Structure 1
């Protein structure tokens, strides 16, 4: 069941939430020197006695949804013994009471046969980057199983995304503009104006549709939903992992409900205090770096893209930009590439040659497999719920003139992703700029942070987050994964071991360590 305009006008709204590459690695952490930190490495001081998370006293009504979940995500069959379970719980639309009624929030739980039943779950949110359920499913099917073997993991989707009841507010005729960034045909006079027009029309449609709930899709409200899950479980403390944009939700939880946190992990966190242009350029830089790492691994595997896979991809992007890929626009190709490079699938490194085959086939004129991939990847990241949540979180989008300027500058600086990323910043240009979510000012908790060397979702943006943690008085340690992809824990056995050690005793690794690719 989807949100409908009739339902949106009801007094109470209920929503059913129904470097060469990045391979999996169990090699031990290695120390690296952090800029300005000196060469001496010391272990973090022994933590004080920390309270631990608890096993739920009153659990949700879980039902098996393994096959349905993996099928809907096109992730293939489940590994032996993996169990995915879905459940729902009610959460207030607004805990302050300014809007009455409840949503139905949805969760996905993953476990293996060896996962203990008497161990507190790890709560996961990937925010609005993609559904938290898909992030968890991607981790669960991968070859690195240490994290899931040690405890069950429960993913909670943001409102209107993934397992939540979808928001249906953007008229069908506008959707194509969003997915192909106004590239309705080669020679479009001004894609920036086309996307800005979409933003205006979609913003009016969605805010009118959601009224009076339009202000309840920000990170603090997402944190409220996680708090409601804690109450449902009847526990005092939880363990929380926020990945990408989900780190913003996790920080909002720390700000509002820090006393209920036992452990906090920020995996490839989205930067804080940054405007849309800064955040977008960080993502583009990470995507270009991830493409380079993919190309190196592709070459080593003698893949179908030839002796210089990166050059082949650049040529393919130029071909798409000039209309040489038919209905597949440059924006479509960017969606497929970014979707692959940022896939949460833990087995992604094993799919490099398959991706190369798809791209090479499209270059030869067989565009079917790439077209199917574009549809699948767009569906994963361009729902109406993601539009509403991302635009609500967005800060200081550029003007149209600035976007045009950046589209030209970035096209040469970042030849595969730059131009489309600059134009894409206009998607949220008409959405009212909201106040940035308040950050924690006091956090008496050690925090584990991961950063990726080639992250196509956030780039290398952990510094602003660790600065925030330091200002709040929280001890923290950052580990850098030297592979490509997002988030780190989905792809690195080394990172999963660090998380398990931290969850068990609250002990942080030495700051500045690295997990090899």
Structure 2
């Protein structure tokens, strides 16, 4: 596979795509009230989704995908197939340069032939194909019994044409927040300098397409898929940042929205610091949940896992864990806890043992976890996408204030999260992601009480945007920890199944147990 190099967009053809779950029997959704949407919506006038008239050229990629992600085989007969399609870098500017968008389809033997697929996007948080692989090999695979699910990797991420604009050293320094390169300057100033250099490198490499990797262009890629399929509308499941992509699609192509599910959506129309603080709140809440479960299992982190992890972070910050920085440690912990894998409950001891080994001086397992994490969440494509999506990045003075404030309010993740805002502070100002003015179908919204990827502080802005668009919507809150909701909660999956089948919404303000 070739990469995007300096001043050139090239094609890359994909041949292989590379939280406490609730696995209970049928459980009733508990209504907790709140919200202004209709309590129940049976929308018989909403058309059924259509199967593709003309499909992509799929080929088997199950073994390669599951092997690279360290996942089990999944349910008997699981099929994972990969494909790709080309799209213009920027149709709005008449650009004809093409890039490849990676896709992966999951099915089971009992998936009905000719069933309309559900389209999944995780946006920039994680390759959509990785989210789908985790979904398909866990309890959420039951969703495949009714329809196939097709994951579309955001441009520059996963199996889509990758971006290659930073050196390994630059990528490493950004991940470490300059801990090992700061010298006599503050870490805020060092990350500001690293961010400026990275911005110059990537915008120069991508010219004249440097502004074509935001949510609006990701929505255009979904529309290209719809046109290739020759269907009237898409059923969309957007998780995390992918929910912003799905909303952008609804804003640009409202007539082609067949179903719209927003799972753990980020806040709409907020500045980057507010979005980061909401994420930190989710990280702290998820870690507290993980620590309670770990302690209850008498795990290797002792009776107070949070205190042990905090002490380990401090060791990393002091340079006592070799090449492990405090930032890379916290990123790995947060990503592990927020993994879409449905077997997360069985992995509590796994993370505990890795961290306990590092505490004893054996950092090799932790370094392996960090390397795996950065491959999943620290690519150049994700850097470009995240910087493109953020709004009103704060300057160094404001970040210093946030560093001090957040260190007190959010004692584990707060300080590093503030400094990390400087990575994108030099990125060119981008238009905010578009929001829909009308949505022709009911919208189902899931939110996690302890989501380390997005947090839940932005839910009101999302539902407010839906109300402003005149949409019918219902929100369901999951009381567990992890991301996204549908890969962990059987209760949420049941609500999703009903919605996909008949566009029926559950009672607004409902809650699913942990």
Q: Distance in 1 between matches of 2:23 and 2:376?
A: 23
- Look up the SS of the partner of 1:430 in the other structure: coil
2:410 aligns with 414
Shift of residue 60 of structure 1?
0.7
2:11/2:100 contact within 8 Å kept: yes
1:432 aligns with 428
2:494 aligns with 497
Q: Deviations over 1:357-393 (max 9, x none)?
A: 1111111111111110011101111111111111111
Shift of residue 45 of structure 1?
4.1
1:129/1:244 contact within 8 Å kept: yes
* 1:5-154 aligned within 5 A: 5=5, 8-9=7-8, 13-16=10-13, 21-34=20-33, 43-154=39-150
Q: Distance in 1 between matches of 2:135 and 2:239?
A: 12
- Look up the SS of the partner of 1:325 in the other structure: coil
Normalised by the size of structure 2, how large is the TM-score? 0.95
Shift of residue 164 of structure 1?
0.9
Residue number among 437, 459, 483 corresponding to 1:462 in the alignment: 459
Residue number among 192, 212, 226 corresponding to 1:230 in the alignment: 226
Match status 1:276 vs 2:275: no
2:344 aligns with 348
Q: Distance in 2 between matches of 1:281 and 1:327?
A: 27
Q: Distance in 2 between matches of 1:34 and 1:192?
A: 44
2:4/2:161 contact within 8 Å kept: no
Q: Distance in 1 between matches of 2:34 and 2:146?
A: 34
- Look up the SS of the partner of 2:91 in the other structure: coil
Residue number among 142, 153, 156 corresponding to 2:152 in the alignment: 156
Residue number among 226, 237, 261 corresponding to 1:241 in the alignment: 237
Normalised by the size of structure 1, how large is the TM-score? 0.95
Aligned residues: 510
Q: Deviations over 1:52-107 (max 9, x none)?
A: 11011111111110111112223244443221110011212222243222222110
- RMSD across aligned positions (CA): 1.9
Structure 1: gaps of 5 or more residues: none
1:29/1:516 contact within 8 Å kept: no
2:88/2:97 contact within 8 Å kept: yes
- Look up the SS of the partner of 2:92 in the other structure: coil
Q: Distance in 1 between matches of 2:95 and 2:145?
A: 41
2:23/2:489 contact within 8 Å kept: yes
- Look up the SS of the partner of 1:96 in the other structure: helix
1:109/1:153 contact within 8 Å kept: yes
1:230/1:237 contact within 8 Å kept: yes
- Look up the SS of the partner of 2:253 in the other structure: helix
1:367 aligns with 363
Structure 2: gaps of 5 or more residues: none
1:324 aligns with 320
Q: How has the CA–CA distance of structure 1 residues 430 and 16 changed in structure 2, closer, same or farther, with 3 Å as cutoff?
A: farther
Q: Deviations over 1:383-441 (max 9, x none)?
A: 11111111111101111111122112212221211111111111111101211022101
